[in-house]
Structure 1
Amino acid sequence: MATTELQMSPQLEQIHGEIRDLFRALSNGFQRLDKMKDSNRQSKQLEELTGKMRECKRLIKEFDREIKDEESKNPPEVNKQLNDEKQSMIKELNSYVAMRKTYMNTLGNKKIELFDMGAGVSEPTADENVKMASSMSNQELVDHGMKTMDETDQAIERSKKVVEQTIEVGTQTAGTLKGQTDQMGRIVNELDTIQFSIKKASQLVKEIGRQVATDKCIMLFLFLIVCGVIAIIVVKVFFSLTYFNFVVY
């Protein structure tokens, strides 16, 4: 159904245009994939196409929410057209999902798990997917597509929780390391203070030693002076006695 035949609000037209652009990119991407021979390039191309399918799934869900929000404002025939277009887009997206699984089975590449049906359950082949899709009504296709999208959202939410827990553990570890770093810094500062105190004490001991040595020199000098004075007194007394004896005799 062409975009001009639909009566849409500007918001719906924008979302619808983005989805159609992604569908064209997916179509061109799978055509290029057919021409690739190298398995590594094919795996990389599949990863890029998977990202586009994931974005397309998100936009289809947003398109569905906008339809529900505007349902009361639109006439019944417009709502029917919009819902038919939504179902058509989901069916087209499912066809690309089936193509992706075909290429994955061919490559044996199990790294991309966008629409995984659960651990321990084997995925149906592409032919089985096509047969199953052809036997389902439009509403069943919509329900199946929505269920698959919800399961993918749940897987993404679980991955987000794991990332958040990892970030929380990393934050706690960083806080612990910061506390230990601060403690080591305080220990280093205390060691610097102790080293400074030891240096001051060593300088004080040296000054005291020099002071004691100076005091000893002064005492020795005073002792020599006293000895000199005593010697002079003794000499004078000796000469006085000698002179006195000489005069008497």
Structure 2
Amino acid sequence: MASDVPMSPELEQIDGEVQDIFRALQNGFQKMDKIKDSNRQAKQLEDLTAKMKECKRLIKEFDRILKDEESNNPPEVHKQLNDRKQYMIKELNSYVTLRKTYQSSLVNNKNVVLVDMGAGSSEPTAEDNIQMASDMTNQQLMDAGREQMTQTDQAIDRSKMVVAQTIEVGTQTASALNQQTEQMKRIGNELDTVHFSLKKASQLVKEIGRQVATDKCIMALLFLIVCGVIAIIVVKIVNPHNKNIRDIPGLAPPAQNFQISNRRLLSVEIFRGMES
């Protein structure tokens, strides 16, 4: 079905990729009838299934872009694009039905069973895991089933161990986080205490500084007074007849008192002479 519907570049690109996948699917299913080996048929069917998954993804992307561009396209163009999408879905469904037919034919006619042959090999391939049921006895089938169940149980046990270890690690991590949270709280309280102590110490230093400054002023004043007294005493000793110094209160007696004292001393001497 050739597309003559006007499309945006993105839709046109997706439409071209889908058509390429349809041609690849048509050629692939035509080759299925020519392949006689069951293993190769299974491999071919897997490749075709992967192409159909990619085609389904592209159709979904086509539908998403179509909805985004719905407001920009005229109604008739939108209808044509929607019909184009429906055509691609119908075409893909036909190949899906064809795949189911070949898969059913492959399983029923060849009686193929998938057996895990991975014991002793690191990464077994798909061809190594396919064995004809006609070549296996009932006991071998039962043993293979038991082995598969044993491996499944071991995988479940390992998963449980991983979950238990994960829970234990999570518990330890939560406990460590709680301890770190408490430690951070204690550190915060200690920092607050240190900040308060520093503030109080700063205030105390300021008060001490003011007291020291006051003491220095008082000591300087006392020093000046002492120096003044010493200077006056020195001057008095050097020049005792200095009237200016004599007139200083406390350093020399008044002149009147000095004369009275002299008179008293003279009277005492006279009185002593008369008695003798």
After TM superposition, the score normalised by the length of structure 1 is 0.44
**Which structure shows the bigger proportion of residues in helix conformation?**
1
Question: If you compute each CA radius of gyration, which structure gives the higher value, 1 or 2?
Answer: 2
After TM superposition, the score normalised by the length of structure 2 is 0.40
Q: Per chain length, whose mean CA-contact separation is higher, i.e. which structure has more relative contact order (CA < 8 Å, sep 6+)?
A: 1
